[in-house]
Structure formats: C-alpha cells, structure tokens
Amino acid sequence: MSIQVDLSGQAVVVTGAGRGIGRAIALALAKNGATVVASARTQSQIEETVRTISQAGGKSAAYRCDIADESQINHMFEFAMDQFGRIDILVNNAGIGLFGALHNFSTADLDKLLAVNMRGTYICCREALQRMIPCRSGWIINISSVVGFKGYPNQSAYTASKHAIVGLTKSLAVEAQEYNIRVSMIHPGGVDTDLVGDARPDLDRSILLQPEDIAEAVLYLLNLSDRCTVDELYIRRRSSQPF
C-alpha cells in the first residue's frame, strides 16, 4: 500500500527529476499535493515529468539546471521562490556515476564527480537553507547510496563523493535543527536505473529496487510526526543479495 501524506501547500524542489529516482520522487510528491519544481540537465526529460504530473492533476514547473554550475543553482532557487514564494522541501537527488579502477581514474573525472555529487549538493543545501531559515521550517532530503557506507571495486571515486554527502548531511542535521529544519539522507541499495546499469552490468536487474521504492521512502520520512526525525535510512531489496 502506498504511503499517503498531505503535502497540500508545500513547495518542493527535486533535482535530477528528469528520470529514474528523481522523476519517481517528483511524481509521488505531486500526487500527494505538493507543488514541485522538477529540475535536471535535460529539458525534454523534465518537461515530460511536468507533463505527467499535470495529466494526473498535479502542479509543477520545469527548470533546467546543471548543479555543477553554481549560477544555475542560484537561478533555480530564485525561480522557485518567484513561482511559489517559499521552499518547504528540497530533495537532492541529482548525481552522476563515473567508474573505474583508482590507479587508472583521471583527476578530471574525479573533479566531475565531486562537482555534481558533492559540491552541487552542498550549494543546493545552502541555497535552500537561506530560504527556509526565515520561515523556521523545512526539510532537506539527500539521496546518497549504499556506497556511502559500503565499498565496491572500481567505485572508489564515486564512493568518495557519496561519503562526502554522508558527512555533509550528518553535520547539517545538527546545525539546522536550531531553525526547526530537518535534514535526512536515504541510502538506496541497487535501483533499476541507468546509473546502476553502468556501475554493475553484472547484476540481474530483476533483483533490483525500483525508483518508486525510493519515492516511498521519501514519503515515509515526510509522514513522520513533528516530534521525530530520521537521520539515515538504508533501503534495499529483499533478496539473497543485499545490494
């Protein structure tokens, strides 16, 4: 049974919302009443996300943004404020995956990973906080990965970028509570997305989670009472291979 949460009147920014996990999250939040800014690098993909939300009776707006570019992030949050006047929830889902043995992994590829997965997430958190703090409310949910606490071969650089999100989220959760803002992270195990297909082509994709499972985890967090929060949530497929 799907989790039902009343998000009426809540303004949400979801990054990486053009496909996969981000798209599923944007659709789920809109279905539960939120107004969603769907952001990603590919215009056609976010337009499709927004079109799907609209056809289901939801409210959303598309904004093309490469979170490796600080100015684009700033403009995205300005757009969200212009559209809705507030930001209640930020879901940092945008990320890239580049893989290979560390001894052959280029510094240029490392920089690309960190620019999106760590630096972009950091800046999005900062920009959201600047708009949430005056309201003394809000929720930031960072989508990390099982590699945030578990190692796999040929993923050292990618794993380092996700460990950075873990450290960021843990510290920010404590820092933001002064302003009644909650900060959580979700560690998905293997999810049936293009990124996982690139990282682990050896996997039988039938044993993987679906993007909608991660969207359900986001709704679970948002359904918590005001008395509590969850700092970390690890979700994996029930199988003999716990990715």
Write out the catalytic residue numbers. Answer: 158
Please state, in angstroms and rounded to a whole number, the distance separating the CA atoms of residues 90 and 132: 10
Count the Cβ atoms, other than its own, within 10 Å of residue 194. Answer: 10
Give dist(CA 93, CA 23) in Å, integer.
10
Q: Answer yes or no: are the C-beta atoms of 48 and 238 closer than 8 Å.
A: no
Distances (CA, A) of 199 to 26, 44, 80, 87: 24, 25, 33, 33
What's the alpha-carbon Rg for the chain, to the nearest Å? 17
Q: Residue 234 in contact with residue 189, Cβ under 8 Å?
A: yes
